[in-house]
Amino acid sequence: MAAATSFYSSMAPHFQTKLPVKVTGTTLASRLGFSSTANSSRSAKLLAWTRAGAVAGGGGSALGAKMVLAPSIGKPALTLDFETSVFKKEKINLAGHEEYIVRGGRDLFGLLPEAFKGIKQIGVIGWGSQGPAQAQNLRDSLGVAQSDIVVKIGLRKGSSSFEEARAAGFTEENGTLGDIWKTISGSDLVLLLISDAAQADNYEKVFSHMKPNSILGLSHGFLLGHLQSLGLDFPKNVSVIAVCPKGMGPSVRRLYVQGKEINGAGINSSFAVHQDVDGKATNVALGWSVALGSPFTFATTLEQEYKSDIFGERGILLGAVHGIVEALFRRYTENGMDEELAYKNTVECITGIISKTISTKKKGKKEFNAAYSASYYPCMDILYECYEDVASGSEIRSVVLAGRRFYEKEGLPAFPMGNIDQTRMWKVGERVRSTRPEGDLGPLHPFTAGVYIALMMAQIEILRKKGHSYSEIINESVIESVDSLNPFMHARGVSFMVDNCSTTARLGSRKWAPRFDYILTQQALVAVDSGSSINQDLLSNFFSDPVHGAIEVCAQLRPTVDISVPPDADFVRPGCERSLPESWSWLCELCSSAVMVVGGEGSLFQ
């Protein structure tokens, strides 16, 4: 198909696949650096399949592709470097490409007053997903630093969030809670954390209330994309920076609180300096990220951030997962599988047990290989289209217009988003979770694993070909799932996430999940059922992909704290004070066993 062939490379002959070896006695999470050592002894042994067994079945593509996409090894499009006079910059090597990061840690909180020099008030605008988490983390970190910088919440008049903000310790009496416009006018650093659609509708008023030489802080590049679509840019008398946690607000707060005894626990962040009017923007951005608890912060651009972020949440982070499990649940039940078992073999498998051992029986190998081979290009087809819709501004415009349809206008009724959780599959999920024993990760289904890993690798390749840094690729395609979304989806279900996450992500999932569902049903599953041969070269390229080594480096930067999510966790509010008695280290191994079992030594997550 055109979407796939445009990516073809002539580099395939340069890659060789190592013979797999048996992996025993050590958890894959420990090998990654993702899990706490206390959990190492609980993991099952991982058995690597032989290469012959893994790729048996012939060399033709399940979809008749004439060529095979080889892993990218070319020079990245961007070289992202920065200078900071406050924090230590570190160079890392990811798949042969040099990138620069700043490690976080609570031992750096003492540097925050210097990083925020000249800032007397930080205004946090909005109390949605990121607002509560970032405001509390900033307040707590500045408190540790004994700084007198005020963190103030700004909300619209009459907002129901006033009570929630007061409950978190922000009050009008102590000057940390107030009207949105007065807060913006009085702040030296304005963190605009309202919804994307609200930013698009209110940016002019926000800009008009900002002080000259103040700093606008964003946690998403959506507003830049919207301005670009209108031929506009930010005012020239303010600095514009971004710190973008690679996870939902509740995860940003949850890991920060859990990691109080661990130096550096939290959610990774990217940062960007789009406009710097006084030379202070980089230090401020890095200070903001460190104060949030980011274990490491990597550089990006505001444009690259919004492209990868909006694309990612429509892909493996939410939309594509939604589409995959709908398609596979329907397939499994139509083929006679009990519906509760079908739910476990789809949703529970992806959000839970994929990290565990796959049987070495030949049937399991064949199922994984067939699913991967047949699903890779159909997934890439939709991902490619999605990325280009985001990059062109079409997807951003779609979100803005959808937000306006939530309200009555032009004589037409309001059309707010409805919920998806009342259909059969999601009602089955409620029953499964209500009877699920604590710590039960569900069954591992090799076919489901094959489809999911194919999706992940296709997303990685799209971002790589589009010039994103490996730090951004890995965080958007792997770590954000592991550290943020999948733990919450396992606790509450995929449908709950689709119904309760950010407006932009919810809209994206509803739009793109059916596309993944349909193309898998109409192309990938038909190819499998018709007995199409497995694409041996595609699997070989998977084994030798240079992203595997890059992921290992990123994993080593991850602190040894596993997020703990209670079954009643709130996706929007970060006040999850209950914790499960055991750390969910298995979530930090997400999908790794499936890949290790197929690829052996040198394969993904090894």
How far apart are the C-alpha atoms of 594 and 185, rounded to whole Å? Answer: 52
Reported as a pLDDT band with limits 50, 70 and 90, residue 70 is low
Report the pLDDT averaged over residues 447-472.
95
Phi (first) and psi of residue 324, to 5 degrees: -60, -50
Reported as a pLDDT band with limits 50, 70 and 90, residue 442 is confident
Reported as a pLDDT band with limits 50, 70 and 90, residue 565 is low
pLDDT above 80 (res 378): yes
- Within 13 Å and on the Cβ side, how many CA atoms surround 606? 26
Residue ranges at the known binding site for substrate: 373, 502
pLDDT above 50 (res 10): no
Report the pLDDT averaged over residues 349-357.
67
pLDDT of residue 255: 87
CB atoms within 10 A of CB 550: 24
**313-557: which CATH topology?**
N-(1-d-carboxylethyl)-l-norvaline Dehydrogenase; domain 2 (1.10.1040)
pLDDT above 90 (res 345): yes
pLDDT of residue 376: 97
Domain spanning 90-296: CATH 1.10.1200.30: no
Reported as a pLDDT band with limits 50, 70 and 90, residue 570 is low
CB atoms within 10 A of CB 465: 17
**Highest mean pLDDT of the ranges 14-18, 525-529, 596-600:** 525-529
**Residues sharing a CB contact under 8 Å with residue 210, sequence separation 6 or more, in sequence order:** 184, 185, 190, 216, 235, 238
Reported as a pLDDT band with limits 50, 70 and 90, residue 365 is confident
**Residues sharing a CB contact under 8 Å with residue 64, sequence separation 6 or more, in sequence order:** 532
Give residue limits of the domains in the chain: 90-296, 313-557
**Residues sharing a CB contact under 8 Å with residue 48, sequence separation 6 or more, in sequence order:** 20, 21, 22, 23, 596, 597, 599, 600, 601
Residue ranges at the known binding site for Mg(2+): 309, 313, 476, 480
Tell me which DSSP letter residue 464 carries: H
Q: What is the pTM of this model?
A: 0.82
pLDDT of residue 561: 65
Residue ranges at the known binding site: 309, 313, 373, 476, 480, 502
Fold match between domain 90-296 and domain 313-557: no
Reported as a pLDDT band with limits 50, 70 and 90, residue 63 is very low
CB atoms within 10 A of CB 503: 18
- Considering only 233-247, 487-501, 522-536, which range has the smallest mean pLDDT? 487-501
pLDDT of residue 310: 96
Reported as a pLDDT band with limits 50, 70 and 90, residue 583 is very low
How far apart are the C-alpha atoms of 362 and 443, rounded to whole Å? Answer: 18
Burial (CB < 10 A; 0-12, 13-18, 19+), residue 361, is exposed
pLDDT above 80 (res 457): yes
- pLDDT 10s digits, 169-183: 999 999 999 999 999
pLDDT above 50 (res 34): no
**Highest mean pLDDT of the ranges 140-154, 242-256, 574-588:** 140-154
Cite the DSSP H helix spans in 405-502. 424-434, 446-465, 470-474, 480, 486-492, 494-500
**Residues sharing a CB contact under 8 Å with residue 323, sequence separation 6 or more, in sequence order:** 512, 513, 514, 515, 516, 517, 520
- Within 13 Å and on the Cβ side, how many CA atoms surround 287? 27
At 383, the amino acid letter reads L
Report the pLDDT averaged over residues 125-138.
95
Report the pLDDT averaged over residues 269-289.
97
pLDDT of residue 27: 27
**Contacts by residues 523-526 (CB-CB < 8 Å, ≥ 24 positions apart):** 523/63, 523/374, 523/378, 524/62, 524/63, 524/371, 524/374, 524/375, 524/378, 524/451, 525/327, 525/331, 525/374
Report the pLDDT averaged over residues 31-60.
30
pLDDT above 80 (res 154): yes
Of the chain, the percentage scoring pLDDT greater than 70 comes to: 77
pLDDT of residue 443: 86
Which of the following is catalytic: 14, 97, 209, 220? 220
Query: How much is the mean pLDDT over the chain?
Result: 81
- Considering only 11-25, 128-142, 231-245, which range has the smallest mean pLDDT? 11-25
Q: 69: closest CA among 6, 21, 124? A: 6
Instruction: Copy the structure tokens of residue 481.
Output: 């799932």
Report the pLDDT averaged over residues 93-107.
94
Phi (first) and psi of residue 122, to 5 degrees: -105, 115
Reported as a pLDDT band with limits 50, 70 and 90, residue 29 is very low
Reported as a pLDDT band with limits 50, 70 and 90, residue 53 is very low
At 249, the amino acid letter reads G
Distance of CA 517 to the CA centre of its chain: 20
pLDDT above 70 (res 59): no
- pLDDT 10s digits, 282-301: 999 999 999 999 999 999 99
pLDDT of residue 500: 84
pLDDT of residue 451: 96
How far apart are the C-alpha atoms of 558 and 296, rounded to whole Å? Answer: 8
pLDDT of residue 71: 59
Instruction: Copy the structure tokens of residue 355.
Output: 């990290």
pLDDT above 50 (res 39): no
Indicate if 220 belongs to the active site. Answer: yes
